[in-house]
Structure 1
Amino acid sequence: MFRRLLHAQTDPPPARSAPRGRFSPHPALVALVALVLTAFSLAAPAAYAAMSRDAAAAPAQVLTWTAGDGYMGYTSAPTTAVAGPATIVFENSAATGNTTGMPHTLTFDTSNPDYNTDVSLNIQASPSDSGGGRHTAEVTLTPGVYHYYCAMPGHMMSGELTVTAAPGNDTTAPDTSASVSGTKDASGNYVGSATVTVSASDAESGVSKVEYSLDSGAYADYGAPVQVSGVGQHTVAFRATDKAGNTSAVKSVSFTVVAAPPEDTTAPETSATVSGTKDASGNYVSSATVTVTASDAESGVAKIEYSLDSGAYKDYSAPVQVSGVGQHTVAFRATDKAGNTSAVKSVSFTVVAAPPEDTTAPETSATVSGTKDASGNYVSSATVTVTASDAESGVAKIEYSLDSGAYKDYSAPVQVSGVGQHTVAFRATDKAGNTSAEQSVSFTVVTAPPQDTTPPDVSASVSGTKDASGNYVGSATITVTASDSGSGVAATEYSLDGGPYLPYSAPVAVNRAGSHTFLYRATDKAGNTSTAKSLTLTVVDSKPPTDCPETDDRSTVFVGTVNTGIPNRVTTNGCTINELIEDHQAWASHGVFVSYVEKLVADLRHEGVVDQREAGDIKKAAGRSDVGKPHTARTEP
């Protein structure tokens, strides 16, 4: 019996190297066959075939390792074997030279991909164990190289076992590949020269030779990477043959070699940037990072160097972080592959200490906006706007949750259109990681009412003292009412005697004697305006007004002899527009009259008697009139 002990390998497996220790060569039946075939060449094929059949039928090969008192190498170990079943014998006993009772192990390495890893074997043997130090194991070997070693502390025992394929079984050609290396230009051509490296492997009998051909020339043995320096296009073909005589298919790599450019005498271009968190004064808080870049369009950048605060120059390989509080200067330069060094440049900056730690969470608030109904519910949708502020480190993010859902990042006002009650919770986190307490706003969204397309209902009534003829004595008061069952009344307007529509806010008193026409209309909140309605009435007074400058009841406004076509309306003091113009009195000059009219129409515009267009027409008529001009003969209309 043998024991397999699984334990930690305190000594790592050594790199692949030549076997160590004293190794006794194993008798080789194949060598004997070869000798016989050499002596009797005519009978070689038949004899070789017979021997191969006998070898295939023979018991599995026995591979023996022995150990003694030494810990720098096995006493004996095989170096070669043939693929297939094998009996591994490991003996560490007095018979093999162990007089001290020292234990040893035989371990096959399964962790190194450079070796075969398909046999897991770990045998520990000592003269005093139950097997007397001799143990065996049955394994199956495959072509390749196995690495073995002693897995006990202080031992330096290791070696390699090379396994070849059984004779006559290798019919597979080697695997081949090639790579091209060298300095490339922007077009991918090799500058000056290119180096072709060919590799070949054969898992069975092993590679016998590798050959290459340059630009369709004769094949030559490949022993080292091939350097091609001739300018132009090139093709390197390659193939390999294994020890069983199998030759791989020809493969090739193609490339172009170009002449080296003229000598580079221009230094690299350099620049640097400083990054980090800045305060309001532009100083870097806690630290600043300097990033240096360099470029060279000819030979290329070989190295970049920097100096901090006039110190010695150092190689630059990564951004330089400067954390010392105070002013700093980083100088930098670069050297190209032709040896040209750039002029020194520098960047200066100031690092300040970080402010006290921020432990205060942000302030948060939210508002809800939208169209409300009479009950305060939001019609169709509501929009929630969240704001946050942090006077220390600043706000890093705002989050919200709708109706107890998962929190989401807030980046714009949240519109909620689902009908029903809703709650929007919100919170904010500052750059120091402090998160505010959760707050919330609640509201209700209701369905929008049907669209309002019906204008308001509007009516008017007249009150006052009437005479026997139904005329109103002294004055009449007109009251307008409007209603809208849809969106509601937005505005009511009226027009008296052809004047502009004015907002209606209270009953309108008409106290100018004469016939009057009163128009009225209303508009609802949906923009529907009712058709204008009208009523007519007559006001009589036995005592006509005596406080007007003159009497002028013409139907349109005249300025001198210029007819504006504007209705001669009654103003708020009971006088007509014509009576207030006073174009029949003597004026000191035409300019004085025009200035008077301009002031008058401004007052009438303010009172709502005329609109902006009509006011402008009256001022233009005053300018065209001859009122106030000297030596003017006027004819009364």
Structure 2
Amino acid sequence: MTHGSLPGPVPRGSRLLHHGPATRRTLVLLVALCLGALTLVSGPGARAQQPNGGAEPAAEQVLTWTADNDINRYLTQPTTAVAGEATLVFENSAATGNTTSMPHTLTFDTTNPDYNNDVDVNIMANPNDVNGGRWEVDVVLTPGTYRFFCAIPGHGAMQGELVVTEGDGGGGEDTTPPEVTATVEGEQNADGNYVGSATVSLTATDEGSGVDSVEYAVNGEEFAAYESPIVLGTPGDHTVAYRATDVAGNVSEEQETTVTVVEPSGEDTTPPEVTATVDGERDADGNYVTMATVSLTATDTGSGVAGIEYATGGEEFLPYTEPVMVHSVGEHTVTYRATDNAGNSSETGSVTFTVVEQDQGPGAPPPPDCPESDDRPLVVVGDEWTNVPNRTDRHGCTVNERIEDEAPWSSNGSFQNHVRHVTTAMIDDGVIDRRGAEEIQAAAERSSIGDPGNRDGYQRIFTGTAQSLDRWSHVGGGAFGLNDDGSITSSDTVAGMGMLWFPEQPYDDFVLRMKWRDDAPGTRSANSGVFVGFPRVHDHPEESRPEWVAIKYGHEIQIYDDALGDQYKTGSVYGFDLVNRGEALTTPKGTWNDYEIRVVDQHYTVYRNGLLVNEFTNAPGQLFSPPRADDPGTDGRQRDAGYIGLQTHGTSDVISFRDIRIKPL
């Protein structure tokens, strides 16, 4: 396989969410970061972030954000600081509790006029990056309030504010020490002792100069820096002492909490208790609208809970590790049970509920009538990325959708006039500020939209109507059904692997864009993919099964986020170029993902939610891996033009697609 060349230095102010055809996949971008080839932060006094490498921070004031598997909040985050130099640390690693390789960003808002806009920081981290998920950058903070957030789609609840007060960098007149609290979690018996283990979490706040560090000591040992919750797993009495220091040097009084851990009782004969809760939007009849989420909780006061299992629709029991999302319309029954460490199993419980479609009857507001579909986190004009958040206007359409960069334009000048009109209206509506409008207008001027060879825009080959779906053809097993919201979803009752393909014309060089959503039942992820570059599927001289013509003589761009199972994860060119889960930029199930596939002169680039996840060159001589009987390798996939299709993999691999469009190049 062949990958693109390593990009050269990027101008100050470029962001990790930069989208360009010549960049490598995310992992390579991070390697470039480590080498100093990219500048990810900007603003007065800012320097390019470097790996920590054990070196002392450049500034005395250190502000640390941490993240774990949760997509709704940062694990820890500072709330106050003093004006002046500061080192910002963002850690999203195994040490902070990230066990799923989930990427997060620490992004400072630079466009909202209600906040300070002078620090431009956008750090992406995950446990599998070149620095193990820990990055830092030096900045200069000014008095006021900064807003920070995670820019990964679906992670928008991760946000907060940093209040910066006047100071001399050493805390000024702050003489008040931080406040520290400890919380203890774990399974408790009737005496209040913790069965098997206990977890102690520490939280510190400081209204003055801000928290600099938190320390703890267990059972009289030396104090150590607190970075993640403390797990006490040895039976007996434990004392955890703790204290905190603020930026001004004030140290809180030493406090302590005492915890008793006991071994699980060998005489435990009582099974665990399990409860189920169902959450979601409900209609007047108590039905759940579009989806329901089932959460299971088990308690055991004896030996402790060993595990919880669940089953949907009479299928086999599966381990319960996260809430179960149910999207399919109809009545559903989820059964569940739990086992404790002594081997006792609870009785099987169940919860039954009904999922219905969104009521679009008389009086219901119509869906937004937006000219395009684009909810990427930042405003993008053609291939030109900006730092402007892609906000929604009062009509429910995003800035990207109003810009209409996928529409046909007779000239770049006419497109620029349109963008100026749109951005001016959005200033008046308070969606963007003047600086954001100027940045979008500059991107429109730099773009090639409307230039000769780039005037036709995108062809919308599936628009969500029955008429547009009729233009497609299904072969093999499985099926896709049309939904009221304009999406299609693979069947959970029609078995077999198959493909929905677009037979109207083959494409040579193109950009293909669509949205997909993982709707697999239970905790597992859907296995699907997008086929490109295959010949007509009927009457093929060497393969009688139409769906296998695409599999053997085209390329499948994989969709699969599961931590287990197939080694080829989302963004992989199946059988030829592997993307692991850490590189796949996974999102929570039930999230719509933007997928972009570019094919130019046999060079493939794959973007997920605007981020590059893979590049591959379809050069001859490459073999399918692991070896598959009668697969022709890339030698059998050399053609100037081919068709596109969507895979249905099986009844448990429920996947949805919408807004499919293609732009010939």
Report if TM-score (shorter chain) is over 0.5: no
TM-score (norm 2): 0.24
Q: Higher relative contact order at CA 8 Å, sep ≥6: structure 1 or structure 2? A: 2
TM-score (norm 1): 0.24
